[in-house]
Each structure stands twice: as structure tokens, then as C-alpha cells.
Amino acid sequence: MKAQKRMCRQGQVPGLDPVATDQNTCLCHTPGRRPIVAICVAAWYMAGVVGAALADGVATVGAHEGHAAGVAAGTAAAAGPADEPAAAETGTTDAADHFWPQWRGPRFTGVAPYADPPLEWSNDRNIRWKVALPGRGHSSPVVWGDRVYLTAAVPYGNPLEPRYSGAPGAHDNVSVRHRYEFVVFAVNRVDGSIIWQRTVHRDLPHEGGHYSGSLASASPITDGEHVFAFFGSRGLYCLGRDGEVIWQKDLGRMQTKHGHGEGSSPVLYGDTLVVSWDHEGPSFLVAFDRETGRELWKIPRDEPSSWATPVVIAHGDRRQLIVPGTNRMRGYDLADGRVIWACGGLAANIVASPVAGGGMAFAGSSYDKRAMIAVRLGDAAGDITATDHVAWRRVRGVPYVPSLLLYDDILYFLAHYQGVMTRLHAPTGSDRPGAFRLPDIGDVYASPVAAAGRVYVTDRAGSTLVIAHDDESRFLASNQLNDTFNASAALAGCELFLRGQDYLYCIAEDGTD
């Protein structure tokens, strides 16, 4: 790796003097490219900055700390790019916008508003570091400050006689042959070293899940002060920055359709952490206080198994929790869990997570049928299935596994889990330019992500196609890593983090050449 020095530019991190560091410490502006936010880990911690909490859309630390934790360079405004869902709409702080704090990023859209990740990489180019982690997990990494957090299920002890779930209609499942430790990792963002790993539970799972799945598929969440790790039937855990367990919850035993395993991630908005528990038994939504773990509300859901993660959007004087389902896509009041509106029309087995922005919510599914719905939130109330609150519907090219991506007013999604992408105008559903085939892309489980005018699609075989975020959808680069990928990428600063079956990768332009 090059040993060149870099300088965090004065003004990019207000209140701090420019600090010269090795290239692998200063995660900031790349010479020759447009200015972006400076993310200098060394500077933060010299100043004692830990990070801002997500407190109802407002940073709870002092002005100096809140700005030092993440500030846009150049002319970028604190609220983000002009057409992106505003931080106030999605409940994030300025600090959170410069990291990747939870599944689908800081605004639940798949977009990192201030990141500028690399365009090109390979097995021996632009890899700042890669690290092998024990166990297996398809949870996506999350990033805050100098930490990357992720989860895994690690087998231990002697092999056991194979056990199967016995679920009705079970197929393509793996047997349980080991007991497992359920582990949370904190990885050093600078060099990939493991800062700590904490086993929060040990168990003999009752389901092995689908052969392509994992026992640690729900992505963690961080607010810079806590890490929230959800292992489904193995519990929900709140950990501190040093890995200590602050509180934990046992939500019961989930029985998924066909025994295919668990995967929905929690969602954090302000001080409220929500878990969706859709399965073949009594389904429910439950909300907790992020600091104490106190249950705020719990409501039943008339829904079978779902793997989708909810999203939250501020609309009018309410914060709406958007949750898709086989029977209904619903908007709930985040304050008390009451249903605001409901809309029918999606398929069974909802996997792809919805997106919301600009006063609308979007969800898609592809299992027993193909369906996508766009809802105008407006004054939507009650059953809106046959009303003009449904802005448009679509049945072609809709997703099964990968989630939707909302970038400005453009909606991206993949057909089922194949290499055909659709790009359309979100408010109207009109093609911009519609469906197009992705070269060198096979089956895709990872959800697309975007930043700096580019869209990134990673397939299971390690190919990542980079696409221009414009009406022509130009193909900018095709990159290959010799690994298998099911987790989605995380984008922060100048870096792209990919979790493969074998390694966790930090991809950066100043990596190995």
C-alpha cells in the first residue's frame, strides 16, 4: 500500500485543524475527484468525538461534536442533495447521513447522500483491506465513525445428527448439525482488525433455513453510541460501543414458511426501535425505547411470513411506519402502532424492503404473482386499495429478493433476482428508460446501492456493475471479486464495504495498486 500523506481540509471538519495522516487513516477527499465530506477518523478521536445519537431527527450532542461527526464539503447542504428525501423526512441526523447506520442506509432508500465510493476494483486493486471472520452471516455491514459492525452465527462443539425443521412444504433446506454462537463484531474501519466480538447467545436452532440463507441474516443498526443486533428467535440485543450488553429481549420462536429461515431487520427512527415479526404463527409489530429497551407498544398483524424490513417516513405531523405484507401493505403511526391506512395487491412471501420519499411509499413483490404498488400518502386513511391514493401499479420486472432503490425521484429495482434492472420515474411510474439487461450480472440477492451519481449492483458470483444515475443508464465499470456475495454493500466516505462468504472487504481508491 502507498505510504503517501493526506490532509483533512480545513473547513471540512469545523473546529479541527487540518491533520496529516497516513492514507489508510484519513478517509476523505481523493485528489482529482470532486470534493466530498471529510471523514478523518484520527481527527474525530483527537477531538474526543464519539458520534451523535438519533434522537427524533435531531443530534443530541453539542454543536461542535455534531458538526465534527459529519459535515459536507463544498456546496452540499446539511439536508442532503436537493432531490433526496430530506433528513427531517427520514429521521436521520446530519451525522448519520455521512455513515451507513442501518439496513438500506441513513435514509432507508439505499442511497448514501455524501459518499463517493470507488468506481473500479479487483482482487488486487483498490482493496484497502479484507478480513476473514468466523462463522457465517448474510447481514449487511453498518458503519459509524471508525467502526464497522456486523453479525454472524458461529458453529461450535461436535457435529450432531442432522435435524430438520419439519415445516409444512419444506424444500431446499439445510439440516441443523451444530450448536451455534450468535456473535456481534466491531471491526476497525481503518485496518480491518477486530476490535471486539461478543457472543450474545448460544443455541441449537430449530430451523436450518434455506440452503442459500444464513442464521444471521438480519442487519444490525448503530446510532454511534449503541449497536442493535437482532437474531430473530435468538433475541434482540442492545450493545454499547465496547461490546457490553445493555439490554436484551426474547421475542419468542419464529416458525417461517417452509422453514426457510429468518431475515427481517429492525428499523430505528429517533428513539424508537421496531421489529416486524411476521411468521406462520401469531404475527406482530413491536416497538422499544432504544435507550432502555422498554416496550412502547405491540400490535398484532394479520400476516403470514415476511422477510421485508419496514421503513419510516415523516409525513405531515406523523411518522409513518411502512410495512408490506401478503394481505396488505400498511402505514402505521410510529407513536402508538395504530394502522393509518392499508392497501392490498402484493404477492405472498414479501422479501424486498419498501422505500418511501416525496410523500409516497413504494413496495414490490414477486412470488406467486408479480406486483408493485406506489401509494400517495397525502391524507390516506382506511382501506385505500381501490382509491386514487394508489398512484400506480406495475406487474413487469418487479423484485423478489433485492430491495428497491430510491435515488432522487428515480426508482430502481431488479426483476425477481436476475440481472434485469428497471429505472422509472417514481411519482408517475413512467419508464426512464424502463427495463434493461445488466451485462456480466447473474443471480442477485444483494440490494442495489447508490452514491455520487452512480448505482452499484453486486451479484452472487462477485461481479459488481456500476451504472450512471442518468436517463441513459450508462455502464461505467464492471468489477470482479473471487467470493460469493449475498449481503448488500455499505457506503461511507470514500469507501465501499462488501461482505462476502469468505471475507469482509473495504474497497477504496487508495487501496492496493
Q: What is the pLDDT of residues 364-409, one digit of tens each?
A: 999 999 999 999 999 999 999 999 999 999 999 999 999 999 999 9
Distance of CA 217 to the CA centre of its chain: 11
Element housing 423 (H / E): strand 420-425
CA distance 313 to 383: 19
Q: What is the pLDDT of residues 8-54, one digit of tens each?
A: 332 333 333 333 333 333 444 333 343 333 344 433 333 333 333 33
Sheet holding 194-203, edge to edge: 142-144, 147-156, 179-188, 194-203
Residue 63 DSSP code? H
CA distance 398 to 362: 11
Confidence (pTM):
0.86
More confident residue, 223 or 33: 223
Reduced to 3 states (helix: H, G, I; strand: E, B; else coil), residue 93 is coil
Q: What is the pLDDT of residues 89-107, one digit of tens each?
A: 666 667 899 999 999 999 9
Half-sphere CA count of 35, side-chain side, radius 13 A: 13
Asked whether 457 and 437 are in contact (CB, 8 A), the reply is no
CA distance 239 to 229: 8
Q: Is it the case that residue 483 has pLDDT exceeding 60?
A: yes
Q: Positive or negative CA dihedral for 23, 43, 57, 221?
A: positive
Exposed e or buried b per residue across 40-71, where buried means at least 16 C-beta atoms within 10 angstroms of its C-beta: bbbbbeebebebbbbbebebebeeebbbbbbb
- Residue-level pLDDT at 87: 64
- From the list 183, 186, 139, 143, the residue with the least C-alpha distance to 51 is 143
Q: Is it the case that residue 57 has pLDDT exceeding 90?
A: no
Q: Look over the chain and give the mean of its residue pLDDT values, rounded to a whole number.
A: 85
Q: What percent of the chain has pLDDT over 70?
A: 81
- The radius of gyration computed from the CA coordinates of the chain, to the nearest angstrom, equals 21
Q: What is the pLDDT of residues 149-203, one digit of tens each?
A: 999 999 999 999 999 988 999 999 999 999 999 999 999 999 999 999 999 999 9
